[in-house]
Amino acid sequence: SGAIQDDAVPALKDGRVIITNVRGFTLERAYQVFPDLPNTAEIINLDLESLEDLEKMRTWFQWAPRGAFLIFDETQLLFPKSWREKDLERFDYPGGPEAAHAADRPMGWLDAWTRHRHFNWDIVLTTPNISYIRDDIRMTCEMAYKHSNLAVIGIPGRYKEAQHDAQLNRPPADGTIIEYKRIRKQTFALYQSTATGKTQDTKAGKSLFRSPKLVLLLALLAGTIGCVSYMG
């Protein structure tokens, strides 16, 4: 949800071509939520469970138009860490470097990831755990963002975003930029979060406000703040 709201929606409003495998995220839905989108906006939605679409996602740099915005979900399934150097040779541009230059395309796997900005491509990758992502991809990432669902502590529709270096598996204890964000209702209308189409927040955890000690602490804090404000 955060990637759709913070990254995909602005790209749509800029009239860009979006290439994605986010389930149900289609141009038809986008126009229902944002009827005034530029007529250049386009969404190419690919199915992770289709072998043909899976191959298209893996070879995105051989066909994606310049300036496209790519947002891939479940990245660990698209680009497995088990691939070795020999496996990556199949991504070399057909005909070699000269053919790639003539077609204005990357020469191969590493060229695509390291020079994606040269082709005006922006890429957002999501995964349950950043350690699943290949090192050669992580080394080209500008930044990583860890999202924590606040529904686990009884605050549905909100999440904590911690920004950190993509080379790290988790945000450092000190100096991390943290934001608390809310998912707007219109964001949920843009895509289908499950195969059944039914959305529900996590049932893990429990509400903070069910803890008597915490409620008492919050009450005391609220009373203190009220007193200070009143007396000031």
Determine contact, residues 148/159, Cβ cutoff 8 Å. Answer: yes
Assess contact for 67 and 118: CB atoms under 8 A: no
Q: Which residue type occupies 25?
A: F
Mean pLDDT score across all residues of the chain: 86
Cβ atoms of 93 and 100 closer than 8 Å: yes
CATH topology for 2-201 is Rossmann fold (3.40.50)
Per-domain residue ranges of the chain: 2-201, 205-232
Asked if pLDDT for residue 209 goes beyond 90, the answer is no
Res. 231 pLDDT band, cuts 50 70 90: very low
Radius of gyration of the chain (CA): 21
pLDDT at 158 over 90: no
> Which residues 6+ apart lie within 8 Å of 83 measured at CB?
134
Q: What is the pLDDT of residues 95-115, one digit of tens each?
A: 999 999 999 999 999 999 999
Q: List b or e across 154-176, with b for residues whose CB sees 16 or more CB atoms inside 10 angstroms.
A: ebebebebbebebeeeebeeeee
Q: How many CB atoms lie within 10 A of CB 179?
A: 11
135-156: per-residue pLDDT in tens? 999 999 988 888 888 777 777 8
Give the model's confidence band at 197: pLDDT under 50 very low, under 70 low, under 90 confident, else very high.
Answer: low
Q: CA geometry: angle at 99 spanning 96 and 104, to 5°? A: 120
Which band of pLDDT confidence, cut at 50, 70 and 90, is reported for residue 229?
very low
Return the H-helix or E-strand segment holding 103.
helix 97-103
Does 187 score more than 60 pLDDT? yes
CA 44 and chain centroid, separation: 16
